[in-house]
Structures are given as structure tokens and as C-alpha cells.
Amino acid sequence: MTGASSGIGRATAIECSKMGAQVIITARNEARLLETYNHLEGENHQMIICDLADEAAINLMVETITQIDGLVNNAGISHTTPIGFIKPADVERLFATNAFAPMLLTKALLKKKKLNNGTSIVFVSSAASINPDVANSVYSATKAAISSFSRSCAKELATKSIRSNSVHPGMVETELVQNLVFSEEELTADKARYLMKRYGKPEEVAWAIIYLLSDASAWVTGTQLVIDGGVLLK
């Protein structure tokens, strides 16, 4: 589980542990990742500090873990900028974390034979990859890229009985959203766009991820599961 130090990643790791899974969690921030680790139920979990923007760090992490049955590529960052103000550094930074990192991690795990036959891979994309918001073009592009990569994985890895799917959440009440510069009035107006009239909760996305990780979805691969409170229907 990447990006496990907060938000969807933390919720998914905790919910997986409640169901008896042995969880390997990773993120850059040691203090926040330790908070997640301390909330895990059960035993034999593993915590690894890793900057996924660094391919050497990815390869080193992969060397330290045993074979796994599930992979959640969740780590991601956001940045809002109108198209006319896009900077190359912003494009590189967002693609490095949101797209290149999960691609390279998946590749490294495959090459080192760390994915068991029957492994389920889940990529956390975004509803923005389907219907981008204004000033969110680069972020949306990174999430569209990882959604496409997920479907490629489904095709290429089917011979190993490895499944690959992506989830596409709308806005979720996480630190990523809280750090965006919006007033309460703007947030209230934005929530009104959703049929459910609210943002999602991290656990609501985590439960969908767990479904895709589990045998309950054994015949599901290459799909894009939208979890958006109905905003794409507006």
C-alpha cells in the first residue's frame, strides 16, 4: 500500500488489517506513516519509508519485501494551475509521483517476481481523469495515464492470473482536499454538484479497494470503478 500515511491510503491499510491481512505500508513521511502503523490491527505488518519519485528507492524497497498477493498504488499529489500558467517543474513533479512511480513500482515487483500468481493490483485514479475540472489539467492527465496503465496491466498480466483495476473517486474528505485553497462557501457550492450532496469518506473508497483486492472480484479485471457520489451524472 503506497501513500499510506493519510487519507485513502491510511483508511485502506487499516480496513485491510481489520479483515486479517498482513499489510506492507509505505510513504515518505515517517511520523505520519507510524500513526497509520499504530492503528493497524493484527500482527506481522511492515512499514517502509520510501520516496516513490526515486527509482533507486523503489528498487531498494522491493528488495526488502516478500511475495505479495495485493498491491494498491495509491500515492498521489495534487496541484491546481490554469493551463496558461503550467510550469515544466509542476508537470514533472506530478507525473513523477502520480504516474511514473506506480508504473515503476509495478515493473520492479514483476521483475523481482514479488507478485504471486493471482495477485490483485488496484490503482487509485480519480473522477477527474474522466471529467477534469478547470485549472486541474495536469493532475487529471496524470490520473488518466495511470488508469490507462492499469488496463494495460490487465491485458499483459492475465497470463499470470494477475488482475488489475482502477478506482476513480470524486472529492474525498482527506488532507489533500483540506489543503486546497477554497473558502467554506466555495466548498459548500462544490458539494452541491454531487447527487449525494457531500464529499466521500476515505473508508468508502477503501471498501471498494478491498472488494477489488478480494476473491469477491475474482472475475473483475481491467475495469474502472467510479466512486463519486454521482457527480459525473450532473
pLDDT of 184 over the 90 cut: no
**Beta-strand pair 68-73/115-124:** parallel
Cell, residue 155: 491485458
Condensed to tens digits (0 to 9), the pLDDT of residues 92-132 reads 999 999 999 999 999 999 999 999 999 999 999 999 999 99
Sorted by where each begins, the domain ranges of the chain are 7-172+202-226
Contacting residues for 220 by C-beta, under 8 A, at least 6 apart: 163, 165, 212
| The CATH fold of domain 7-172+202-226 | Rossmann fold (3.40.50)
* Confidence at residue 178, expressed as pLDDT on a 0 to 100 scale: 61
pLDDT of 180 over the 90 cut: no
Instruction: Give me the catalytic one of 37, 139, 194, 199.
Output: 139
Mean pLDDT of the chain: 95
Backbone φ, ψ for residue 196 (5° rounding): -85, 0
Average pLDDT over residues 62-87: 96
What pTM was estimated for this model as a whole?
0.96
Whether residue 139 lies in the annotated active site: yes
* Confidence at residue 58, expressed as pLDDT on a 0 to 100 scale: 97
Condensed to tens digits (0 to 9), the pLDDT of residues 143-165 reads 999 999 999 999 999 999 999 99
* Confidence at residue 176, expressed as pLDDT on a 0 to 100 scale: 60
Q: How far apart are CA 102 and CA 55, in angstroms?
A: 10
- How confident is residue 177, by pLDDT bands cut at 50, 70 and 90? low
